[in-house]
Amino acid sequence: MKKWIALLMCAMMLVCALPAVTFAEGEDISGDWYLNRMREGDQEMDASYLSLMGLESVTLTLNADGTMAMDFGGDKSEGTWVYEGGAGTLTSDGSDVAFTVADGELTMGEGDEWMIFTREQPTVEAFEASPVVEAPALEDFNGEWKAVTIVAAGLPLPMSMGGGSEINITIQDGNITYKTVTEGDDGEMKTDEFSVVGELVDGTLKAVNGLNSLTFQMHEDGTMTDGYTLAVEGDPNMQEAAAPDFYTIYEKAE
């Protein structure tokens, strides 16, 4: 994440003297380009994640006279650019950022970190989960469940965006075993596990882990979602619900 932000900041510093601008014959790449996604190694940050970070309105404008501008939601930076034969350079005080244009995408960066721009601004629609099963039986929750999607602020994100986390839940007649596998700062994978007993209340499987409450709901498409409440200042009698648009979707493990 820090590398991605550093790359963005590098792009924002593009200010220098105007060079000559050249085009590949018959190709004009001038105009507006919109940040569509970012890539680090084999991981990509798509439009949904960019929106969650507030980066959905990053625009690169290449003017026909060789000047350019980067607009980060109103925070603008100016500079210059050159381009020929499918490859180009954005230049700042003695420092260059290379880019290529192919298949309708402008890709800029270096090493393992890249930003990909497209002509059309990406749009992100709020995610809606499948309808909740109104009156599930306790045994409907039984099985091995694997977390597949995190929904944050109405945006679905892959589990890989959770810092290398893996969540697996085993449920049998209200007995819940919750296991997480998380990558630590040292790169080592750490496993945590706890078990609780849940109770089916008004179609929701509820359990208490310490001061926090866990809730699970079945959905018509066969998935399960979780939610929780947090004790306020350590008082189990005063609780506040977690944001309703932040939850995890689970599928039956094969």
- Residue intervals in the chain for CATH 2.40.128.280: 2-118
Q: Evaluate if pTM is beyond 0.85.
A: no
Q: What is the CATH number of domain 138-252?
A: 2.40.128.20
Q: Which CATH class is domain 2-118?
A: mainly beta
pLDDT in tens, 115-174: 899 998 887 666 788 999 999 999 999 999 999 988 876 777 777 665 557 899 999 999
Rounded Cα distance between 210 and 117, Å, is 46
pLDDT in tens, 208-237: 876 667 889 999 999 999 875 544 445 545
Backbone angles phi, psi at 11, to 5 degrees: -65, -35
pLDDT in tens, 125-141: 667 889 999 999 999 99
Please enumerate in sequence order all residues whose Cβ is within 8 A of that of 164, keeping only pairs 6 or more positions apart, or say none: 182, 183, 189
Q: Scanning the structure block, which residue is given the tokens 């970190």?
A: 113
Q: Scanning the structure block, which residue is given the tokens 């597949």?
A: 148
Distances (CA, A) of 72 to 75, 96, 105, 251: 5, 20, 19, 37
- Residue intervals in the chain for CATH 2.40.128.20: 138-252
